[in-house]
Structure 1
């Protein structure tokens, strides 16, 4: 038996990996042999015919997930005492070009000043291919016909190749293609906006901080406030969080919508002083900062569960009692101080008695004749 076999990762289910052969000198029933995989097949991608010893593929193989299996194969006889022998087999998966390259993201957006120097690097695009060898080697190309930009086929670096002019061409839409050694490909889009020279920074409407109050039970994703600025020569601004947000808030870079990213907790932190920056797309880019003070409002929490005054109640009722006859009255208390949290309602649980009795907010009553 070999120590290692190689199997293509796209092998069909039922494909035979190895035919095991073992011999037992005993005759008759004690010499009959059975085969098994004793360990190493935790995800059940292989199976062995217990009678013939044929090891075959039983599940989907993926080299990018598991590249090698170490199987312990055991053969047993049917004698008494039972005897066995085991051997280890390494199953190495051979790569197939079953993965196309994948860019870090499907679209990219950049701003460039119109006086940017030729040869300036815009961005180094990255596409990854988990396949092995040449199947995983990625080359880059520009599918858009342009003389103004060039793309390095090896490292994916996009750079300026010709003088830019905002007045003649203010926006470029480029299509970048990544191709692996097996001819699988992926594409991404690059938007480049060419900006005029800039001499006015953004201006926020208020020179002082903006203060807002939000309840601590505000749902995640809810809008906290809008903090917009304006710029007389740059209509498009980008917004970012600088400090003070503690990972609790997120800011839309286009709309300046400040939203809740994770849950608030008044007891952990009752206030946040958040610094927000607005940056224009001029050359050089100019920016301005403002502050948003978020005060977290404490919300009473429903901490206590209701408790019955007695664990067990017993009651009697005549079988001739009329409907709506009072059978028993129950009372429970709740330790919460908030009126809404301490309000108690009652209901019957379980199938027994349903249709015969009902409960209102104070007592069990008879519903129909017993």
Structure 2
């Protein structure tokens, strides 16, 4: 018989085949050896393959050791159905129950639900944001099936919840400054004994680019100012500067578009929309626009677009492209001829130049083909000064050329005409063209006959050269009194016979004539009037030859005799047949003299 208590035994699921699970013992009170031989059998061997071995040494044993051999199956195939396997053993008279409790062993690795995981996340994911949740299962029970997670390689940008497998970020990820993809190695471990079982998988994280960066300049995200200087003769098409900008984003988010949004009032500049090069597209003119303050907008092509701006201050520097110019083409002044030397005309000849700086520094110079030596000009102010005495009678007008020259490297200049009109002062007396005049009149000329005309010249202006004539002496038969035989028209200078002449009373008159201008300047000449008797002088003298030629050395001394002119008078008596000689005309007038009696020519 079996003991009254059932057998209870625990075995591990990894117990090897053939292992002894437990020993059951039965006793028999019979004395007969044949009645004490035991036979054991199993009942209820439906789950495990169990065998029973009986040990018999020929003696009626009091006890037997029963060995149960178990063929091990994978416990997973039956554990869900049975917590315990119960087997019944009996003999002819009795049975006993062996309760076998199959205990779990850590014989399974944790298994991930996928061999690898792939996930795409935005770079704008905040710190602590979810990346992915992974899961592994372990078919073991208890601690053997309890799984926890770890990230291998100590990634500093990610962490994993050891319990639920949630992977989150530990810092902000930047597609443009950091890596764009990550390969995470995840380990799932159980808590089994005597050792933990593990498995691993990879999580591939791809960072998606967001337009989270605005265009920047020189590592700065603030507005910049570019200062440049360019000459105004910069050729059309010349690139004058380049806006250096970049965007940390990639793709269209980082592609930049440049535009000029302000300050290009006369459209002289353009910008390359792709590379930011600023070029001249229309001729510049500093005198029109001396500076430009351009606003350049730089936008990326992301959606929505982000924009930054830069300011470009362009100073257009001067070149000498403008000549000085005068406000007038000509200037006119009047000066009295007696103006003092050193007198400054109080009106400047002013020129302007649209250029600046050295190119606008103007110096003045004076030139004239006639009379320019009489004047000078202040090279800085343009004031004209008299430096020599003026004489209207020699030059009544000066035409001066004033030149204004700028200070450019290649100077430019322009000119203006200055007309200076010299006004007259009565500084010249009248002049007769010779001091002595000799005339002959017949004694029978009637009263009122014009016998001579006084003619004088005055180089002064007409208003200052009005002359009045008078006869002051020698007009009567007596030295100091008597009836005047001649008078003169004070305006015209005609000398007329004012009383009858008589050869027998007086044969010669020496008249003194005067010419006086309005300033009481006087010129004097002498007129020798010879009275010729009537009916006595019947023949005029004449020369044998119509032309007489003499030669004289150019260095001949004054007074040298040149030749003689001889006239013939066919009157018979004296003095009618006597000839008197005088030079009345010709190119030698005033150079040669002739003896009135002999006809000899002298220098």
Q: Which residue number corresponds to residue 196 of structure 1?
A: 533
Deviation at 1:152, TM superposition (A): 0.7
In structure 2, the residue matched to 1:173 is 510
The corresponding residue for 1:13 is 341
Q: CA deviation at 1:80?
A: 2.5
Instruction: Give unpaired runs (5+ residues) of structure 1.
Output: 242-249, 262-370
Task: Confirm or deny: 8 A CA contact 1:251 1:257 kept in the other structure.
Answer: no
TM-score by length of 2: 0.36
Larger radius of gyration: 2
Alignment of 1:262-273 (within 5 A): none
Equivalence for 2:425: 96
Matches within 5 A, 1:63-74: 63-74=392-403
Give the drift of 1:32. 2.8
- What is the CA-CA distance between 1:95 and the residue it aligns to? 1.1
CA gap 1:240/1:96 in 2 versus in 1, 3 angstroms: closer
Change (3 A) 1:76 1:150: same
Inter-CA distance 113–225: structure 2 relative to 1 (3 Å threshold) = closer
Give me the CA root mean square deviation.
3.6
Q: Deviations 1:252-295 (Å, cap 9, x if unpaired)?
A: 4623446599xxxxxxxxxxxxxxxxxxxxxxxxxxxxxxxxxx
When residues 197 and 181 of structure 1 are mapped into structure 2, their CA distance, relative to the original with a 3 A threshold, is same
Q: Does 1:4 align with 2:346?
A: no
Query: What do the CA deviations read for 1:327-350 (whole angstroms, capped 9, x no partner)?
Result: xxxxxxxxxxxxxxxxxxxxxxxx
Report how far residue 41 of structure 1 moved: 4.7
Deviation for aligned residue 1:156: 0.4
Task: State the secondary structure of the residue aligned to 1:44.
Answer: helix
Alignment of 1:60-209 (within 5 A): 60-144=389-473, 146=476, 147-199=484-536
Contact 1:38 1:73 in 2 (8 A): yes
| Aligned counterparts of 2:379 and 2:337: Cα–Cα separation in 1 | 24
- State the alpha-carbon separation in 1 of the partners of residues 600 and 494 from structure 2: 34
TM-score by length of 1: 0.56
CA distance, structure 2, for counterparts of residue 106 and residue 94 of structure 1: 30
Tell me, in whole angstroms, the C-alpha distance in 2 between the residues paired with 1:218 and 1:28: 70
One of 562, 565, 575 as aligned partner of 1:234 = 575
Distance 2:439 2:565 in 1: 27
Q: Distance in 2 between matches of 1:153 and 1:217?
A: 43
Q: Residues of 2 paired with 1:224 and 1:184: CA distance?
A: 40
CA 259–91 in structure 1, closer or farther in 2 if over 3 Å, else same: closer
Q: 2 CA distance for matches of 1:203 and 1:158?
A: 24
Distance of aligned partners of 1:182 and 1:218 in 2 relative to their CA distance in 1, 3 Å threshold:
closer
> What residue is the counterpart of 2:388 in the other structure?
59
Aligned length: 245
Equivalent residues of 2:371, 2:398 under 8 A apart:
no
Q: Which has the higher contact order (CA 8 A, sep 6+)?
A: 1
Return the alpha-carbon distance in structure 2 between the equivalents of residues 125 and 157 of structure 1. 6
Partners in 1 of 2:367 and 2:563 — Cα distance? Answer: 57
